[in-house]
Structure 1
Amino acid sequence: MTRKLGFISILLFIIYAVGMYYYIFHGNSGGIPDVLKGTVADPETFMTERELLLSEEYSKIKNFIFFVATPLEWVLYIFILLTGLSRIFEKWADFGVKWKVFKNGAYVFLLYLFTALAFYPLDFYRYYLSKNYGINTQNFSSWMRDYVIDFWINFGTTLIIVIVLYWLIQKSVKRWWIYAWLLTIPFAIFMMYIQPIVIDPLYNDFYPLKDKELEEKIISLAERANIPSDHVFEVNMAEKTNALNAYVTGIGENSRIVLWDTTLNSLTDEEILFIMAHEMGHYVEKHIYIGIALYIVSMLVGLWLIAKLMPWLISRFGTVLKINKMKDIHSLPLLLLIVSFLLFFSNPISNYISRYQETRADHYAMQLMNNPEAAVSTFQNLSKSGLSEVNPPLLVKLFRFSHPPMLERINKVAEFLEEEQ
């Protein structure tokens, strides 16, 4: 039965990977509708022939990696369970310490290290790919430094969650998911609060905007939007990437709007002000707080599903997966498998909500700025800098795009002008 389940898992993954390969590399791409060819939305009007070629190649490779990476993670978790590696890690973690919390912590470290090493070649290839296509400018030592920081931050977060989760399962097999959900609320808010001041500075330097003339323009724009302007920062990203970006982060007094220095160096003041107006739209419409509320609801649904699915899978396949009880720490790969599965298939929903919010922020920026030329040129420059697909295939849009494709964003400018006339 073990071999059969392993064989079926690998076979299904191969069939899926081949199917996705043909869909992405040989299927019908998004393309440009005939009615929009030659307009400002057509990448042929603002990208060179080489940029168009690189954009198509880079996007297809990235999309394929995305669609096979998560199912490959599922195969890895199944492998760890079927081969008994999870039970072996549990034995290695039992180094004579009586306190179970330390044994569980050691197990989590062994499992996390194993999975990190297993996926390192893919992570490195992503780095190599973005560097080869001129997106990433980071040298290997700097990338490895960030990779190690990522490892320890993610491990630390995972460790806290797993230790608390399995303690709750030990205390209440039936109601653990409710207690876990209640704890996720303050934990999520705490993480969002410390993100800008504790975690982000581990990777880059953040400082108030240096360009005082531009700062005055931003202050004036913020006053028109009734937004505090002392939370605008720039970050030194030029040593790591050629891409352009800006974002809103943090909550409460730690909330801030962050501009990459690549954005400041590459765009005109009017284009930067449009981006700032877009980020102000997120601020005004409370998208961060809406995001927290949606996260809380999704966690409730997700934990409830885990509480239903995991016991059923153990009762049905526990012998094959070498899991006796849900409360045993060696069941963690199964829990992670379910979480990964739920997250992957919830992507279309979360991305749809995100695209809606981004559209709202774009509309707010166009109303505040009333500068359609700046809006169009900003979207064009964002596409060029990241070699982005302006109109991706449907599955790619559903599963990958948290922002509307650039074709849609540029079209929204035209629709906005029609509304205003």
Structure 2
Amino acid sequence: MKKLIGAYGIFLVLLWVYFGWFYEVDTYVDSRYAAYRHAYSFTVLTFPWIVLLAFILSGWHKGMLSRIENRLKRRWIQSFSFGLILMAVIQLLSLPLDALGFAMSKNADISNQPVLDWIVEWSIQSGFFIVMVAVLITVFRSLIRKFPNRWWLVLWLISLPIAFFIIYVQPIWIDPLFEDFTSLESGGLKDSIVELAGEAGIDENHIYQVNMSEKTSTYNAYVTGIGAQKRIVLWDTMLTGMSQNEVLFILAHEIAHYVKHHVYIGVAGYVLLSFVLLWSLSALYSVLYRNAHDRLQLRDRSDLRAVPVLLLLVTLLMFVTQPINLYVSRYMERSADRYAIDHTENLQPALESYQALARESKSDLSPSNWIVWLRYTHPPLGERIERIRTEMMEREQGD
């Protein structure tokens, strides 16, 4: 255990020293915030592995589990209670790391969210996460007893309608728990937004603005929801901090996501990836159980002592498949950029919009390829800016 923690400590020191002093960050501002953010991201990525591995090696959770099994007789109550306690401990251990990320954003003037507001938001998000995982643990234990060889398939089939329901209601039930959403404020900017969206067949009732100025100074916009709840959301920081033409270019990018049905592509990707993940989890767990159930003191396949092992396997599998998710996301973002460029006559405001975004977010314009592969849902801003410049040069030469 000490060797594990010591090795992880050395890894963190080397990670932060590399990004703090040796990594060449390409940015518009005099700040190494983007480099430190890389280090923070990889710290957050690896931290759960160490925590779960420490639980497995130390057996800390086994004593707690024995007390739960002795005091609670119903299996589903045992499962749910153990899941709640285990995930609550993991979330509390992660709190200092989450607080560090918040402090970094505050120090870099990226975030202006009040500390108390951040604590409340963190508590709500953590509560959802803890309950969700506890429910999954309870369902897993029940399914593996009833369907020892096909539990993963049954769990996948059960998850599909639940996932679709969550995606459908997210814009109207979940997102408003954290942010304030309103219709666009009346004025010339709204008229231009409605006109541009209307040309793509999007009604103004599907366009919202969200109050983010109380939390951050950066700019963003996104498409969310499916079916009747599908909508484009524009951050108020962008509406007030960018010129009208800059906003309209960003809107054209989001219109591309809307009309190209990228949300549905993402849902289809979830369906496929979740199938692969659960099948892989079942296969790996079967091998592990056959070869190490005595060492792990597992009485049967549904033993709650296997939960930290399963959680570790899930996080590792998600890490392995994450580059595929990110690649698909970047592909869709490039497609949306192309649409926005093709539907914008004057690209100078488009160029300035991405430059403004890079300055406000203190982004790394040209991160290393391996960082893009492991982190980026969008192409680096340097690439996107260069694409617009190239288009502008080609148009000038064509004239």
Into which bin does the TM-score normalised by the smaller protein fall?
A: over 0.9
Q: Distance in 2 between matches of 1:12 and 1:71?
A: 12
Q: Which moved more, 1:249-258 or 1:206-215?
A: 206-215
Provide the residue aligned with 1:53 in structure 2.
30
Provide the residue aligned with 1:267 in structure 2.
242
Provide the residue aligned with 1:302 in structure 2.
277
Q: Distance in 2 between matches of 1:370 and 1:234?
A: 25
2:100 to 125, 136, 153: 125
TM-score normalised to the size of structure 1?
Answer: 0.89
Q: Distance in 1 between matches of 2:16 and 2:369?
A: 15
Q: Tell me how far 1:361 sits from its aligned partner.
A: 0.6
Q: Distance in 1 between matches of 2:250 and 2:353?
A: 8
Contact 1:193–1:250 (Cα < 8 Å) also in 2: yes
Q: Tell me how far 1:14 sits from its aligned partner.
A: 4.5
TM-score normalised to the size of structure 2?
Answer: 0.93
Q: Which moved more, 1:152-161 or 1:397-406?
A: 152-161
Sequence identity percentage: 33
Q: Which moved more, 1:106-115 or 1:386-395?
A: 386-395
**RMSD of the alignment, in Å?**
2.0
Q: Tell me how far 1:289 sits from its aligned partner.
A: 0.4
Q: Distance in 1 between matches of 2:187 and 2:63?
A: 59
Cα deviations across residues 195-232 of structure 1 (Å, max 9, x unaligned)? 11111111111111113322221121112222233111
2:114 to 122, 125, 139: 139
Q: After the TM superposition, which residues 241-280 of structure 1 pair with which residues of structure 2 at under 5 Å, given as runs? A: 241-280=216-255
Cα deviations across residues 40-72 of structure 1 (Å, max 9, x unaligned)? xxx5xxx4xxxx222xx2112111121122222
Contact 2:181–2:210 (Cα < 8 Å) also in 1: yes
User: 2:209 matched to 1:238?
Assistant: no
Q: Distance in 2 between matches of 1:203 and 1:195?
A: 11
Q: Which amino acid aligns with 1:13?
A: Y
Provide the residue aligned with 2:354 in structure 1.
379
Contact 1:89–1:111 (Cα < 8 Å) also in 2: no
SS at match of 2:179: coil
Q: Tell me how far 1:152 sits from its aligned partner.
A: 1.4
Contact 1:81–1:322 (Cα < 8 Å) also in 2: no
SS at match of 2:343: helix
User: 2:55 matched to 1:102?
Assistant: no
Provide the residue aligned with 2:59 in structure 1.
84
2:262 to 277, 287, 290: 287
Q: Tell me how far 1:97 sits from its aligned partner.
A: 3.8
Cα deviations across residues 327-359 of structure 1 (Å, max 9, x unaligned)? 112211111111111112222221111111111
Q: Distance in 1 between matches of 2:168 and 2:259?
A: 18
Consecutive unaligned residues in structure 2, runs of 5 or more: none
Consecutive unaligned residues in structure 1, runs of 5 or more: 1-5, 32-42
Q: Distance in 1 between matches of 2:194 and 2:45?
A: 43
Q: Tell me how far 1:305 sits from its aligned partner.
A: 0.9
Q: After the TM superposition, which residues 153-164 of structure 1 pair with which residues of structure 2 at under 5 Å, given as runs? A: 153-164=128-139
Provide the residue aligned with 2:166 in structure 1.
191
Cα deviations across residues 111-167 of structure 1 (Å, max 9, x unaligned)? 011101111111111111111111110111111110111111112322332222221
Provide the residue aligned with 1:29 in structure 2.
24
Where do 4+ consecutive residues of structure 1 move more than 4 Å?
Answer: none
1:322 to 1:134, Cα distance in 2 relative to 1, 3 A:
farther
1:19 to 1:309, Cα distance in 2 relative to 1, 3 A:
farther
1:65 to 1:229, Cα distance in 2 relative to 1, 3 A:
same
Q: Tell me how far 1:269 sits from its aligned partner.
A: 1.1
Q: Which amino acid aligns with 1:326?
A: R
Q: Which amino acid aligns with 1:53?
A: D
Provide the residue aligned with 2:380 in structure 1.
405
Q: Which moved more, 1:362-371 or 1:133-142?
A: 362-371
